[in-house]
């Protein structure tokens, strides 16, 4: 069968809060976006609708004063993107060619997608322990006492004034444990080694906090509970003595890091050492003009639905500007247009595509 090429001005990868917000904005701007999402895959942790599909109560998304279930919120996002004409496609992109525009995205089938701009919103996946009891309800207690996000779930009534467990020994674990002490009666940090990986300042903050205690040289082997009560404890193994115990707690926060979904772009786009895409401080531009990134895939700090949606809106406006021949700020500090003109970071000169430098003077 001959190869079929689909041509677009805007292609968005990922249908979490960032991708769907970018879709709403670019669809309303009549850019007819094509949103491509990976199929649901438990191992690769991809879910159409993104991370909020695996949670229950979302209490901090503005506009829903009484809270909303994660999947219901994402159904609202999707309906809004559909209403303005976003086209959806579910497939794996196997390879991308970003060496020149239009960019080429190759799929598992005979379809190739060719696009003038690409908005990457593939999110990040929390790393999990892979132990019994950790999976999402009903297979385990995920969403019923097990979480990977203290900011998101810590304030829920189920965790208030209770004993909670945080698993991990890095900065994320210290931050999550410290945050949880606002609500919990006590927070136990379970760490498999006898010292932490976290930075000194984060360690000291945690050590000073009277509500935090550490359980060293210990791994969590299983999360136990009942469907009615949720989590009631964790089965711990002391790796030095071999001793096992069931430690009672009402919640488990797994804080062993996140993995941004950027494998497809390795060697093509600038990333930090963990794999988060680097974007300009002033826009969502990556180092390749016409490629933008939004949401958790470029944000290792805030990782919230509202910030993902916010940067999704920024990506859409950046892509619109770029397609409208307006300059977009690059990570290097310069600005660039779709024609390949570079405006220097001090805004004093324009370097034309053929390498000439001209003063950046207004006609007035």
- End-to-end CA, the chain: 58
Our finding on whether 291 is near ligand FAD (CB under 6 A) is no
Our finding on whether 113 is near ligand FAD (CB under 6 A) is no
Minimum CB distance to ligand FAD, residue 143 (Å): 7
- What does the alpha-carbon distance between residue 255 and residue 339 come to, in Å, rounded to a whole number? 45
> Could you tell me if 295 and 18 are in contact, meaning their C-beta atoms sit under 8 angstroms apart?
yes
Among 27, 68, 98, 121, binds ligand FAD (CB under 6 A): 121
Our finding on whether 172 is near ligand FAD (CB under 6 A) is no
How many chain residues touch ligand FAD (CB under 6 A)?
Answer: 41
Our finding on whether 260 is near ligand FAD (CB under 6 A) is no
Our finding on whether 305 is near ligand FAD (CB under 6 A) is yes
Closest CA to 19 of 218, 246, 316: 316
Our finding on whether 252 is near ligand FAD (CB under 6 A) is no
Our finding on whether 33 is near ligand FAD (CB under 6 A) is no
Q: Which two tokens stand for residue 172?
A: 């994320």
Minimum CB distance to ligand FAD, residue 185 (Å): 22
Backbone angles phi, psi at 102, to 5 degrees: -65, 145
Our finding on whether 289 is near ligand FAD (CB under 6 A) is no
Our finding on whether 176 is near ligand FAD (CB under 6 A) is no
Distances (CA, A) of 143 to 40, 57, 132, 227, 229: 18, 8, 14, 11, 12
Which one of 169-177, 190-198, 214-222, 301-309 is the stretch in contact with ligand FAD (CB under 6 A)?
301-309
Which one of 32-40, 163-171, 283-291, 332-340 is the stretch in contact with ligand FAD (CB under 6 A)?
32-40
Long-range interactions of 180-184: CB distance < 8 A, separation 24+: 180/150, 180/154, 180/253, 181/209, 181/211, 181/212, 182/154, 182/155, 183/154, 183/155, 183/159, 184/154, 184/159, 184/160, 184/211, 184/251
Our finding on whether 134 is near ligand FAD (CB under 6 A) is no
Only one residue has tokens 């979904």, namely: 261
Q: Computed over its alpha carbons, how large is the radius of gyration of the chain?
A: 23
Our finding on whether 119 is near ligand FAD (CB under 6 A) is no
Our finding on whether 86 is near ligand FAD (CB under 6 A) is no
Our finding on whether 256 is near ligand FAD (CB under 6 A) is no
Minimum CB distance to ligand FAD, residue 35 (Å): 9
DSSP 192: S
Neighbours of 57 (CB within 10 A): 17
Minimum CB distance to ligand FAD, residue 85 (Å): 20
Report, as residue numbers or ranges, the catalytic residues: 149, 152-153
Q: Which residues bind ligand FAD (CB under 6 A)?
A: 13-19, 36-38, 46-52, 54-55, 58, 60-61, 93, 121-123, 126, 147-149, 152, 261, 264, 295-297, 303-306, 308
């Amino acid at each position: 069968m001959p190869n079929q090429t689909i041509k677009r001005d805007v292609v968005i990868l990922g249908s979490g809060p960032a991708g769907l917000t970018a879709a709403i904005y670019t669809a309303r701007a009549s850019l007819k976006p094509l949103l491509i999402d990976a199929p649901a895959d438990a191992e690769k942790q991809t879910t159409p609708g993104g991370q909020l599909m695996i949670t229950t109560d979302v209490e901090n998304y503005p506009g829903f004063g009484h809270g909303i279930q994660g999947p219901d919120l994402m159904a609202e996002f999707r309906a809004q993107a559909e209403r303005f004409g976003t086209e959806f496609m579910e497939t794996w992109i196997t390879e991308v060619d970003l060496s020149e525009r239009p960019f080429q995205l190759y799929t598992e089938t005979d379809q190739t997608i060719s696009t003038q701009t690409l908005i990457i919103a593939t999110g990040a996946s929390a790393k999990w322990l892979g132990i019994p009891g950790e999976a999402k309800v009903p297979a385990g207690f995920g969403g019923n006492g097990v979480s990977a996000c203290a900011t998101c779930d810590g304030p829920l009534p189920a965790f208030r004034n209770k004993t909670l467990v945080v698993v991990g020994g890095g900065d994320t674990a210290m931050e999550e444990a410290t945050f949880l002490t606002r609500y919990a009666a006590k927070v136990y940090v379970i760490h498999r080694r006898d010292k932490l990986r976290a930075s000194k300042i984060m360690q000291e903050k945690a050590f000073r906090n009277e509500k935090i205690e550490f359980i060293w040289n210990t791994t969590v082997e299983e999360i136990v509970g009942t469907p009615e009560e949720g989590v009631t404890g964790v089965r711990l193994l002391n790796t030095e003595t071999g001793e096992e115990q069931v430690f009672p707690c009402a919640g488990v926060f797994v804080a062993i890091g996140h993995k941004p979904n950027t494998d497809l772009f390795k060697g093509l786009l600038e990333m930090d050492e963990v794999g988060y895409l680097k974007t300009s401080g002033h826009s969502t531009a990556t180092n390749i003009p016409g490629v933008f990134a939004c949401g958790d895939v470029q944000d290792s700090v805030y990782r919230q639905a509202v910030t993902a949606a916010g940067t999704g809106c920024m990506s859409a406006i950046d892509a619109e500007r770029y397609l409208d021949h307006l300059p977009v700020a690059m990570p290097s500090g310069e600005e660039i247009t779709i024609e390949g003109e570079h405006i220097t970071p001090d805004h004093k000169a324009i370097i034309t595509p053929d390498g000439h430098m001209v003063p950046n003077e207004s006609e007035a």
